[in-house]
Structure 1
């Protein structure tokens, strides 16, 4: 159980973020929900407070691409709940035409959110430690040709998570940092891969994406939420990337860090 724990989830109004919020509440946590969609976020807050009791959730409108908004909302959360124990960087988009926006939300937003969370959570600043989960993707482990910028941001999330986990351990922050890498999930995001306005010059490669979907069948948000909860609860897991597929979840085995094997060329 997570009773007494305070969690923050970005991109919480729908899809994976909504599912993460729900499973955290089911397990006793209080949840601060962040999203740019104020109407949907407010509506969800009302629903969840009716289901789980008042004061269990609080919605905050915030754009993770804005340092000012992100910083301000963290202060509001700490003022209301007193501390943060769990932070989930979940907000993300697919937009190959506006690739700078994709980088700003998918990667810069993760870096920004993680550093803000660490400031409040790490023991050196009087925090209680805790867990940060950065939502990456199957595309952060292998390329998605129809969305190269999306792929780059998710590779970046995995690399950033692994490096910062090591830094946290070496610095004694008391904060575990893990990456969650779902394959194709049944959310509105998946529709972006079929939309020319989102895939731009690579729309002609949609067939490749569909062939990958055949190889990695679409999974439901509830399955990803269970894997998310496992990362939250298992205090032995730090610096991991958990891949979630239709056949189950498995930890990614990376080559030995910073080591190479010489070959003749």
Structure 2
């Protein structure tokens, strides 16, 4: 039997990149996948890709910056399938590439509302459902910027540090409630969000790659497989981890 046969999985930001790769990976392992995103067209494309491989998926529109939509996402999922086994809080934005003194209040609040508040409120509603049903697993997608500083991205860096902190604190709170909560911290991973950075400064592509011991960028599938490992039903003793997926950068 597949690892996640008939388990119900919510993935935010699943219209592209890491979210899409994770949705495809869970579906290939038998999960019923809720594809959540603000981008309806991309979300429906993810669903179509899953169904082409005889997987099961549904699209639910969700803006993670709106807590009421995160609550409705969990409610609709439970109405459809009766439970929530796994939640992947992946939706996020990079923010403008600027020094701290040059970040506007509008940009600050935009990045915080998606990257930090979106994870916090997402976890609130997910945990409440998991407490009712007796357990579950959550993985938050942070970043290597949640473990070290990323110049010219102070707000993004702060939100990803916050995601790691939320993960660790919540993991301890619910460790005895059969709810495991972990985070992944990818280094630069090829995705639409990452490609936007290279459009702003094409010279960055080779400069950043030189800092990765493996000499390449991550692929969405690299992150997806790590997420599946953290959520594996047989992986019962790992919680509160912030797992670097970085080609060796944190080892230097």
**TM-score grouping bracket, smaller chain normalisation:** 0.7 to 0.9
Change (3 A) 1:90 1:68: same
Tell me the CA shift for residue 182 of structure 1: 0.6
Specify the alignment match of 1:8 in structure 2.
10
Contact 1:146–1:208 (Cα < 8 Å) also in 2: no
Quote the Cα distance in structure 2 between the aligned partners of 1:210 and 1:22. 29
Quote the Cα distance in structure 2 between the aligned partners of 1:208 and 1:155. 23
1:120 has 2:129 as partner: yes
Specify the alignment match of 1:238 in structure 2.
239
Specify the alignment match of 1:29 in structure 2.
31
Specify the alignment match of 2:74 in structure 1.
74
* Higher relative contact order structure (alpha carbons within 8 Å, sequence separation ≥ 6): 2
Specify the alignment match of 2:59 in structure 1.
59
Quote the Cα distance in structure 2 between the aligned partners of 1:195 and 1:99. 21
Q: Secondary structure at the match of 1:155?
A: helix
Quote the Cα distance in structure 2 between the aligned partners of 1:208 and 1:80. 44
For each residue in 1:94-149, what CA deviation from the matched residue of structure 2 results, as whole angstroms up to 9, or x when unmatched?
11351211110000000010111001112xx2x13111000000110011002111
Quote the Cα distance in structure 2 between the aligned partners of 1:194 and 1:143. 19
Structure 1, gaps ≥5 residues long: 197-202, 253-265
Contact 1:11–1:92 (Cα < 8 Å) also in 2: yes
Greater Rg by CA: 1
> Number of matched residues?
235
Contact 1:85–1:128 (Cα < 8 Å) also in 2: no
TM-score (norm 1): 0.83
Specify the alignment match of 1:18 in structure 2.
20
Change (3 A) 1:209 1:161: farther
TM-score (norm 2): 0.87
**Aligned pairs (5 A) from 1:168-247:** 168-169=174-175, 172-194=176-198, 211-216=207-212, 217-233=216-232, 234-247=235-248
Task: Give the RMSD, CA atoms, in angstroms.
Answer: 2.1
1:47 has 2:49 as partner: yes
Q: List structure 1 segments (4+ residues) > 3 angstroms apart after TM superposition.
A: 206-213
Q: Secondary structure at the match of 1:7?
A: strand
Tell me the CA shift for residue 192 of structure 1: 3.2
Q: Secondary structure at the match of 2:140?
A: strand
For each residue in 1:146-193, what CA deviation from the matched residue of structure 2 results, as whole angstroms up to 9, or x when unmatched?
211100000000011001101112xx3210000100111011111233
Change (3 A) 1:52 1:22: same
Specify the alignment match of 1:102 in structure 2.
111
Tell me the CA shift for residue 39 of structure 1: 1.5
Structure 2, gaps ≥5 residues long: 97-102
Specify the alignment match of 1:137 in structure 2.
143
Quote the Cα distance in structure 2 between the aligned partners of 1:164 and 1:209. 36
